[in-house]
């Protein structure tokens, strides 16, 4: 095998663009392995760990762009590197797209813009966000690895100047009908969302769309916004903005359970609004003595149902009969098969399944658990749910919603495990995600099930496709591919847990 690299000096590119490009390069038939990214220390460390480092890469600086491929021959490496530019230019490009050397040049040239999306390495992100705020721009901060101190400084400044900071680590927003980063194509409507969870915001938006309603605005605030140190600054500002918005008749506040004092403050402020508010703290129990204008729920599907009911005056019909023949499903299981294993791209999907399974089953562990005693490594858990989009898995590599390679490898391992009976998977559609997530994963699912079959057992796979038929990937097409390959497909994150429980019991 041969390894060749190109280092482009002072050639910064957006991390999401480079992640997507890396995925495309890895899909080239002549490429065994490839990485595309900026020359940060973390990226260089990851490149070294996967055996792709070269002397040129070791000398690269964070301002340099790295492209490295591993192929059978030097000629194939050269061919792959030549195709990188062609791959870079694939896809629609706006006629209005303009490149600027600095953020200030962009602000000066386009004074009417009101929102800046920032996706740079975390060590530079806060400084770029501050420039945008000082120029009077709202900020969507996609970057992660921003310090809590910097986040508090940015959000305090934004609050004092009537601006928004969505993030850091904010993956989803829909502003004035435009989906940003990981967002789905959903109908416009009367329901506004302020979400401290990217995948959770996607899930509630697609469930609202499926119920026939739509989104007025979806404001992401980043997962730390409701921590003690940040204090829910942007969730409260987003709440106030939506309460004043004439196009919003119902508001959803969405988060994993916040710090108790912050939860109390959010509920107090929500109780003062003229607009009905649905509060969804995932997995949490409803507080007592809620104000009359607040409906409290603990999962995203119930949040969507409650919001649509408040907006229309009629509770929509929900519930799907999957006509499960659990006896037939279990008939192919081996004597040792008794566990559930979940491999998730979406953190909130994992979180919702985790809370539901923990309620009914013993020995459930997950890396989304707040309790360290329930996290992998703390014990030998019977059932295990892993969010592969967590920072520990995405540092230096593309998110699994962009590149399924990491999860595909884990799926193959599940097929070799004689104790796993149920494999749970999620597939997120929408802008920013892989153009064919099911198509890029189905081979691994098929191989895992074949491995189990050769060992005299059946591996049952249950999946949820988060998206709409209007998304670029087309939900109907994605679902059909799964069903054609023997995968049981459900209609929500909540149903993923419900069906798993019904089968395993």
Q: What is the 3-state secondary structure (H, E, C) of 37-49?
A: EECCHHHHHHHHH
Ranges in the chain, pLDDT < 50? 92-96
CA atoms within 13 Å, Cβ hemisphere of 499 = 27
Contact 366, 388 (CB under 8 A): no
176: left (phi over 0), alpha (psi -120 to 50) or beta: left
Q: How does 110-122 read in b/e, with b if 16+ C-beta sit within 10 Å?
A: eeeeebbbbbbbb
Helices (H), 116-232: 122-134, 148-160, 198-210
Q: What is the pTM of this model?
A: 0.86
pLDDT at residue number 112: 84
Estimate to the nearest angstrom the gap between the alpha carbon of 124 and the chain centroid: 22
DSSP code, position 229: T
What does the alpha-carbon distance between residue 452 and residue 455 come to, in Å, rounded to a whole number?
5
152-157: which pairs have CB atoms within 8 A and are 24 or more residues apart? 152/229, 152/230, 152/233, 153/126, 154/126, 154/129, 154/130, 155/225, 155/230, 155/233, 155/234, 156/233, 157/130, 157/133
Q: What is the pLDDT of residue 92?
A: 43
CA dist., res. 438 & res. 451, Å (int): 20
Q: What is the pLDDT of residue 94?
A: 42
Three-state DSSP state, 66: strand
What sign has the CA pseudo-torsion 403, 404, 409, 413?
A: positive
Give me the domains of the chain, ranges plus CATH numbers. Answer: 2-88 (3.30.1360), 170-312 (3.40.50.261), 326-504 (3.40.50.261)
User: Residue 380, Cβ neighbours under 10 Å: how many?
Assistant: 9
pLDDT at 96: 47
Q: Both tokens of residue 179?
A: 């989906």
Q: Does residue 90 contact residue 24 with C-beta atoms inside 8 Å?
A: yes
């Amino acid at each position: 095998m041969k390894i060749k690299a190109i280092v482009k000096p002072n050639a910064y590119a957006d991390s999401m663009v480079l992640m997507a490009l890396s995925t495309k390069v890895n899909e080239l038939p002549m490429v065994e392995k490839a990485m595309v990214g900026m020359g940060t220390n973390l990226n260089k460390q990851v490149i070294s760990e996967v055996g792709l480092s070269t002397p040129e890469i070791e000398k690269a600086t964070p301002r340099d762009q790295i492209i490295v491929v591993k192929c059978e021959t030097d000629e194939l490496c050269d061919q792959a590197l030549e195709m990188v530019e062609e791959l870079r230019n694939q896809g629609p490009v706006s006629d209005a797209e303009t490149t600027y050397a600095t953020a200030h040049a962009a602000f000066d040239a386009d004074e009417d813009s009101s929102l800046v999306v920032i996706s740079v390495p975390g060590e530079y992100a806060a400084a770029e966000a501050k420039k945008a705020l000082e120029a009077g721009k709202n900020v969507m901060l996609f970057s992660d690895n921003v310090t809590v101190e910097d986040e508090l400084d940015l959000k305090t400044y934004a609050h004092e100047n009537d601006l928004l900071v969505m993030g850091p680590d904010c993956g989803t927003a829909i502003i004035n009908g435009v989906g940003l980063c990981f967002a789905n194509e959903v109908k416009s409507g009367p329901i506004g969302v302020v979400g401290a969870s990217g995948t959770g915001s996607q899930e509630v938006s697609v469930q609202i769309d499926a119920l026939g309603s739509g989104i007025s605005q979806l404001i992401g605030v980043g997962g730390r916004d409701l921590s003690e140190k940040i204090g829910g600054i942007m969730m409260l500002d987003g709440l106030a903005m939506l309460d004043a918005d004439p196009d919003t008749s119902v508001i959803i506040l969405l988060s994993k359970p916040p710090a108790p004092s912050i939860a109390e403050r959010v509920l107090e402020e929500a109780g003062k609004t003229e607009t009905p508010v649905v509060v969804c703290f995932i997995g949490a129990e409803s507080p007592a003595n809620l104000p009359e204008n607040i409906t409290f729920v603990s999962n995203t599907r119930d949040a969507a149902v409650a919001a649509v009911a408040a907006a229309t005056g009629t509770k929509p019909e929900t519930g799907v009969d999957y006509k499960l023949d659990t006896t037939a499903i279990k008939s192919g299981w081996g004597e040792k098969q008794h566990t559930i294993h979940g491999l998730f791209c979406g953190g909130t999907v994992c979180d919702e399944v985790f809370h539901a399974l923990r309620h009914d089953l013993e020995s459930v562990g997950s890396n989304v658990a707040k309790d360290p005693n329930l996290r992998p490594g703390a014990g030998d858990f019977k059932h295990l749910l892993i969010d592969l989009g967590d920072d520990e898995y995405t540092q230096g590599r593309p998110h699994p919603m962009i590149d399924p390679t990491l999860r595909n490898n884990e799926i193959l391992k599940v097929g070799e495990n004689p104790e796993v009976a149920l494999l749970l998977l999620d597939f997120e559609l929408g802008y920013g995600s892989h153009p064919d997530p099911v198509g890029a994963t189905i081979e691994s699912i098929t191989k895992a099930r074949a491995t189990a079959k050769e060992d005299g057992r059946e591996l049952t796979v249950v999946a949820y496709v988060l998206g709409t038929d209007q998304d670029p990937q087309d939900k109907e097409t994605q679902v059909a591919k799964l069903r054609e390959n023997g995968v049981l497909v459900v209609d929500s994150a909540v149903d993923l847990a419900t069906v798993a429980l019904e089968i395993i019991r």
